[in-house]
Structure 1
Amino acid sequence: MSINSFKKVAGVIIPDSKIATQATELLLEHGTEFIYNHSLRVFLFSSLNAHRENLVYDAELLYVASVFHDLGLVSPYSSPDLRFEVDGANAARDFLKSHDVSKEKIQLVWDTIALHTTIGIAEHKENEVALMYSGVGLDVMGEGYENLKVEHREEIVKAFPRNDFKKKIIPTFFSGFEHKTETTFGNIKADVCAFMIPNFKRKNFCECILHSPWSE
């Protein structure tokens, strides 16, 4: 894998602690160059949002969460029956446990990853959760693009290229849960299945209510 490594990008210091370094090594071992670049951009965008809004956050935990947030899409972390966000969160939890990180910090990272696609909730959680949600939203959908300084955007994209991101990210998402499309029920990744699978039949919440086993 051909990747770029930097100590500082757009004024943001990239953590290089033992935990951060080993997390990056796992991403490089099991992820792809595409996911690596996306994950690093997410960390940088999240951090810039924090600086702009004067929010206090744990840079190391935010970095680990960013590194693991899409690892649930790939082997060996992708399970047969859980949402990919939960797979990534569980992988990060196991990783942090091996480093004797406190339960509170582990739970914070777990929530940050598990909720990173959960619109309407993540942005109201702890700073790390809300920040990574914002970083993902900026990189994937351009949310908050207008708040990003041109020089920061150009420096980040030069360091960690997008490489046809718009065209590749949907198939990348789908590859991680095409074997368990039922896990997209009730979340935005059902849109990915509908985009990738002709005549995809979404599970419907109202039908679940009307066809429940209750007699009345």
Structure 2
Amino acid sequence: MQSRSDTLTGMSAHETHPPLHLDSFEAPRTPAAVAALSLATQYHSPAILNHVVRSWLWAEAFAVIEGRQDIDHELLYVSAVLHDIGLAPEFDNVFRSYEEAGGHVAVALTRGAGWDERRGTRALEVIVRHNWPSVDPAVDVEGYLLEIATGLDISGARSDALPEPFLREVLEAHPRLDLATEFGSGVVDQAARKPHTAAHRLVEGGVVRKLEQNPLG
């Protein structure tokens, strides 16, 4: 489903894109997308909810500036909105990583919304891969976009890649609030209880410091 406005579609990497604005992107109105946002709103704090919405917006913006084509925008939206749902106590898994637990929540939600097994598995893959050190866009473009988008929102990676006015507009509409404290404590807790998961790598890599020093605020 094409969630981006028509003026932003069909562009090559060598074409100049129009200025990015918050209203350049429209969330899908499909049953899966509506249900994903409803679930995230119910179980996330305002800070984490704003984080997952910003992650979707950053991912779509990166797709525009990089001229990425053939994106499943509904899949990207659902995966972005649910990518941290495994941090919610109600969906925390005693053994599996929080991103894998969240991916299985996405499988269940999308199956109920009518997605087939293959596409539901893609949501699981995208959510799991957002915590990889890097994702090859030739293998998984949605996973790649979510990985670099969350990298921007958590650690400030590639903060100069998107136009500053667009960054400010998104941050004003969806402020960071207490994200550094909430996300940092959540990942530290996951790493302590599940040292075999990506959370441990994130903590060892200084995610708490990166959150505090993020140029986005």
Q: TM-score range by the shorter chain?
A: 0.7 to 0.9
CA deviation after TM superposition for structure 1 residue 55, in Å: 1.0
CA deviation after TM superposition for structure 1 residue 194, in Å: 10
- Assess, with a 3 A threshold, how the Cα gap between structure 1 residues 168 and 54 changes in structure 2: closer, same or farther: same
CA deviation after TM superposition for structure 1 residue 75, in Å: 2.4
Q: Letter of the aligned partner of 1:134 in structure 2?
A: I
CA deviation after TM superposition for structure 1 residue 104, in Å: 2.5
Q: 1:96 aligns with which of 110, 121, 130?
A: 110
Say yes or no: does 1:33 pair with 2:46: yes
Quote the sequence identity (%): 21
Q: Deviations over 1:102-141 (max 9, x none)?
A: 2222122111101111113465531111000111011111
Q: Deviations over 1:152-191 (max 9, x none)?
A: 101100110012433443113234x266233337952342
Structure 2: any 5+ residue segments left out of the alignment? 1-20, 210-217
Greater Rg by CA: 1
Note the aligned Cα RMSD (angstroms). Answer: 2.5
Structure 1: any 5+ residue segments left out of the alignment? 1-7, 197-216
Residues 19, 99 of structure 1: 8 Å contact kept: yes
Q: Aligned equivalents of 1:51 and 1:185: distance in 2?
A: 29
Say yes or no: does 1:129 pair with 2:132: no
Q: Letter of the aligned partner of 2:165 in structure 1?
A: E
- Assess, with a 3 A threshold, how the Cα gap between structure 1 residues 120 and 150 changes in structure 2: closer, same or farther: closer
The count of aligned residue pairs is 188
- Assess, with a 3 A threshold, how the Cα gap between structure 1 residues 151 and 89 changes in structure 2: closer, same or farther: same
- TM-score by structure 2 length? 0.77
Give the equivalent residue in structure 2 for 1:117: 131
- TM-score by structure 1 length? 0.78
The 5 A counterparts of 1:73-84 are 73-84=87-98
Report the 3-state secondary structure (helix = DSSP H, G, I; strand = E; otherwise coil) of the residue aligned with 1:23.
helix
Residues 116, 136 of structure 1: 8 Å contact kept: yes
Report the 3-state secondary structure (helix = DSSP H, G, I; strand = E; otherwise coil) of the residue aligned with 1:182.
coil
- Assess, with a 3 A threshold, how the Cα gap between structure 1 residues 142 and 87 changes in structure 2: closer, same or farther: same
- Assess, with a 3 A threshold, how the Cα gap between structure 1 residues 185 and 138 changes in structure 2: closer, same or farther: closer
The 5 A counterparts of 1:1-216 are 9-56=22-69, 57-121=71-135, 125-175=139-189, 177=190, 180-184=193-197, 188-191=201-204
Q: Letter of the aligned partner of 2:73 in structure 1?
A: A
Q: Aligned equivalents of 2:111 and 2:141: distance in 1?
A: 22
Q: Letter of the aligned partner of 2:43 in structure 1?
A: H
Residue range with higher mean Cα deviation, 185-194 or 65-74 = 185-194
Residues 36, 78 of structure 2: 8 Å contact kept: yes
Q: Letter of the aligned partner of 1:13 in structure 2?
A: E
